[in-house]
Each structure stands twice: as C-alpha cells, then as structure tokens.
Amino acid sequence: MAFSESRILSAKRLSQLMKESTENGERFCFILGSGASVESGIPSGNTLEMQWMNCLMGRMEDRGTPAMDPGETERIAGALHAEKLIEHEFKEIIDVWQRAKKENKKDLPSKYYFDIYKLRFHANPRNGYSYLEKIMEPCDPSLGYHTLAKLLTEGNLNNLVITTNFDSLVEDALFLYTDKKPLVVGHESLADYMDANIQRPIVAKVHRSLMYAPFNSPETTSELKAEWQRALSSAFNIYTPVVIGYAGGDHSLMSFLEDEATVIRNGVYWCYLGKPDLSDLPDKNIQKFVENRKGYFVAIDGFDALMVEIGKTLYGDDIRPGRTAEQLKEKHDRRVQQYNQQWDNLNERPEIQEVLQEMNVAEQREEEQREKKQALTAWDYIRRGLRASSEGRKEDAIKEYSKAIEMDPRSAAAYNNRGIVYDDLEQYEKAIEDYNKAIELNLHYAAAYNNRGVAYDNLKQYERAIEDYNKAIELDSNYASAYNNRGIVYADLKRYKEAIEDYTQAIKLNPKYKKAYQNRAKAYLAIGEKELAKADEKTAEEL
C-alpha cells in the first residue's frame, strides 16, 4: 500500500504547525543527521562513501591520500565479511560504486557507510577520527543554525537535539547567536543527565562526540546503547521529533525508532530533500516507519531553507541578515570592550606594568602607523582619550572620545569613558547622559552602572546611586569597586554596618584595595571601633 500523499507537508506548513503547537505548549526536538551539516561545508556520509571507495579501489582520494591496492582491499573485505565485521558483501558495494560512477553521481547509499568506513580505516581506526576532525574543524555553522539556536533557547520548550553527527555545529551556533551554554551529552554514560526540566539546550550525541572514540563501524552502530534507549524513551514521551538530514543508515538509532516498544507519543515529522509528492520519498523502510507512527513527511530544499522558513514564521525580522549583523556586532563589540577594559584594569596594577610595558609600546607604535595611513579606529581614539585623561588633559580626552563616538556611534565604551571625564570635571548631568547612552547600547555594562552610581552620589541622589551599584554587582559579583562605592553611600547615610559589610567584601575581592581599607577605617571610627580602625589604617599605609 502506497504512502498517502495527504501526509506529505511543505516546509511552510510545518513552520505554521510548529508555531501554533508551540503556543499551545507542545514541545519539539530535532533529530539531525549528516545532511544537516552539508551546507556548513561538512560532506555528507554519502559523499564520503564515494571518496573512500575511490581511494580503496585505486584512485587518489579528494584529500590527496594515496590510492590503495584494490586487490588487497577485496581480500581484507572478504575476511571482514566472513568475520561478520562488515555487513554487506564487498562485490555488492563495488557494483553500486561502479553504477554511481557511470551515472556521474558523487555519493552512495547510506546503508554502506559503516562498512566502507571500516575498510578505509581498518588498520588504524584513530586515523579515521583524525580524518573526520580535520574535515569538521574549519567549518562554521550555516545560517540555518541561527534559527535552530533560537528554537533551542527561546522559551525552553524545544531545547533538545538528538544527533548521529560528531560535529560541534549546534554548540558553535549557540555560542555565536545566544548567551546559553548547552549540556552536551557526548557519551552514553552521561545520558542519564538528560532531563526535560533542564533550562538550557541539550545536545545528545548518540554516536558519541568526536573526542570520545565515536561509533563509526558496523559493530558499534548495530544497537543503541541501553543508556540512550532509556533517555530517548523518556524524551519521546515529551517531545515530538522533527527529523532533518538523517537517512537512517545505522542500525542503532533507526532500529530503536522502528521498534514497536519505543513510544513516540505525538508522531514524527520526517524531512526529506525533494518535491511534495510520492516520487521523491525516502526508502520504503522509512516510509513504513513514518506510516506506523502516524507521522508526516516534509518536503524541503535543504536544512538552511527549512530553518529560514521556520525562523521567518516564528521570529520574523530577528533572523534577517541586517538584524543578525547588528546582534553579532553588538556581541563582538561587548567582548572587545570587556577585553580592553580588563587590559586597562591590569595597566593600573603596579606589579604587572613591567610585563605589559613592551606590549603597550607596540600598541602605540601600531596606532602611529595607522595614523599615518589615516586609518585610526574607534578604539585608537578611546586609547588616546585614556592617555589624555591620565595625563590630566581632560578637554583633549573629551575630544578623543567624541571622535571615537563619531566613528562608531554604537561604542558604549566611548560614551562610558567620556562620562568619567565629565564626572572628573564635575559636569555630572553630562556624565549621566553619557552613562545612560552606554547602558542603552549595552545593558550588561557593569562599569557604566557603577560610574553612573558615582555621578548620582556626587549629586547626593543616594537611592539612585545604590540602585546602580546593586545592578553593577548583579552583573559582576566580583566588582570590588562597586562594593566599595556602595559602602561610601551607606556611610553617607550613616548605615555603617552595611557600609562595613561592603568594604569588607571589596577587600575580600581585592586584598590590596587601599581605598577600601581607608573607608572601612572611617566607618569603624564612626561606630567607636578604634582598634579595628587603627588596623585598617596601618594596612592602608603599608599598601
């Protein structure tokens, strides 16, 4: 009986269905095979089969590996088949390979993958891991992974990927596009840690991660490990699987899916490359599986095309190039800003100045070269502003920071630093305007909250100052200056106990914080603790 054409959907229909179902509380997970990695530059298993067979049968491999001897290949294949270490007779594989060559095909059926891999790396399986690692290492996630990263993180509903792949594209995409770190279950011994209540993305690698001797041979992929069976059985009671780029070539995951004892509560959506008609459907065994599970096939034009369709339906403008470029730039700028801020903080520490001196000279030399070429960057102007400010040239510092802002209007660091100079010049309202802009550009900018707190303190707006110090500490719990500054406000309000607690925390975070010792000494004197005050004064003098 032929599969019903009424159960073949378009990518658009799947996207609409996912949006409506997610709004109703249904949860989806994603089963990814090698086809989901092709647009990221990683060859599919079918393509690698062809390359490896060419090598095994006397042709130089695409990666420049010398050809192997066909006679020896056939002899070893016969022995491995007799020992039941490969599933198919090698003559069958040769016939399929030869037909594919005549038809100018660049791939072979997925069912031969593990046999061909076994033959190609028979003498030293570690070379196989290295081969795959070299293929995957330079590849970045294609644009479709942006939508997948959003699906895995927004709302914490659709937060599970199950994959037979060894690559790290999902993890890389989460790093690029989100601030969430995934739970990567790269070995069956970790499978019990999978839990639908975990508030982070889960990446379940049923054939292991590349670093854990991945399963890539007939004997290791003959059956899904018991730990995975337990974990996936629980998952399929909660999540509806969407299968993308998986051809079912292994016996482990596919056999588990086909097993009648495996409960898949809400059916399955199996995506395939092709048109929405019966002619392009996957193999009969997959058709039977989808039919038995009362599932649907989804005709797609590739992983990226499907994900863009889903992204457009669920997230609208958020995945378009311009908006994504803004988000990536903002994230990049935040990291650069943080790095530069930490570098500047190190420069303030006497014990490390000798280490940094040579590098700072090199930085200034490169800056001079860029100036000759009229190619100064916003960060060059920011550094010039820092130098001018430290030398007491406050008006020059403001000019340099203003040039940085003119060059890069989204530079939160330039606004923050200019605010500091206005603060030094007792132009507190202007300082607050700049800090406001820095915070608008970067809501996670702890230093800008701290500095705005200082400005509010100078204006005797104490409650606002405390709010800003609280926010700075919330964003950076190791921010010693924010604790010290909040302590100053508490002391101004005669809340000495809270002031001492904050100064103590600042000293704990930075045991050489001279001002914090001085401030705590004053607070101790205010409450009559003269001996404690003397001890802090002595430490401050020593520092």
Query: In the CATH scheme, what is the code of domain 8-38+140-319?
Result: 3.40.50.1220
**pLDDT for position 177:** 94
**pLDDT for position 151:** 96
Q: What average pLDDT does this structure show over 336-358?
A: 77
**pLDDT for position 63:** 65
Residues contacting 256, CB < 8 A, separation 6+: 224, 228, 229, 232, 262
Query: In the CATH scheme, what is the code of domain 477-543?
Result: 1.25.40.10
Using one digit for the tens of pLDDT, what is the confidence trace for 117-170?
Answer: 999 998 898 888 888 888 888 899 999 999 999 999 998 899 999 999 989 999
Using one digit for the tens of pLDDT, what is the confidence trace for 268-287?
Answer: 999 999 998 888 899 899 99
Reported pTM: 0.75
Using one digit for the tens of pLDDT, what is the confidence trace for 70-127?
Answer: 999 999 999 999 999 999 999 999 999 999 999 999 889 888 988 999 999 988 988 8
**pLDDT for position 336:** 80
Distance CA 206, CA 204 (A): 6
Q: What average pLDDT does this structure show over 228-243?
A: 95
How distant, in Å, are the alpha carbons of 272, 316, 488, 490 from that of 500?
A: 65, 51, 9, 9
Q: Which two tokens stand for residue 38?
A: 């092709």
**pLDDT for position 344:** 74
Q: Is the pLDDT of residue 451 over 70?
A: yes
Using one digit for the tens of pLDDT, what is the confidence trace for 19-59?
Answer: 999 999 999 999 999 999 999 999 888 899 999 999 999 88
**pLDDT for position 541:** 92
**pLDDT for position 64:** 64
Q: Is the pLDDT of residue 216 over 90?
A: no
Kindly indicate the confidence band of residue 253, based on its pLDDT and cuts at 50, 70 and 90. very high
Residue 272 CB coordination number (10 Å)? 22
DSSP string across 348-376: T-HHHHHHHHHHHHHHHHHHHHHHHTT--
Q: What size, in residues, is the chain?
A: 543
- DSSP state for residue 158 in the 8-state scheme: S
Q: What average pLDDT does this structure show over 167-196?
A: 92
Q: Which of 258, 281, 279 is nearest to 271 (CA)?
A: 281
Distance CA 48, CA 67 (A): 15
Q: Which of 216, 240, 211 is nearest to 28 (CA)?
A: 240
How distant, in Å, are the alpha carbons of 47, 370, 426, 472 from that of 422?
A: 62, 28, 6, 20
Kindly indicate the confidence band of residue 1, based on its pLDDT and cuts at 50, 70 and 90. low
**pLDDT for position 360:** 82
Q: Give span(s): CATH 3.40.50.1220, the chain.
A: 8-38+140-319
Q: Which two tokens stand for residue 246?
A: 């998986």
Q: What average pLDDT does this structure show over 225-245?
A: 95
**pLDDT for position 219:** 74
The upper half-sphere exposure of residue 13, i.e. CA atoms within 13 Å in the direction of its Cβ, equals 13
Q: Give span(s): CATH 1.25.40.10, the chain.
A: 477-543
Q: Is the pLDDT of residue 267 over 70?
A: yes
Q: What average pLDDT does this structure show over 342-353?
A: 74
Q: Is the pLDDT of residue 415 over 60?
A: yes
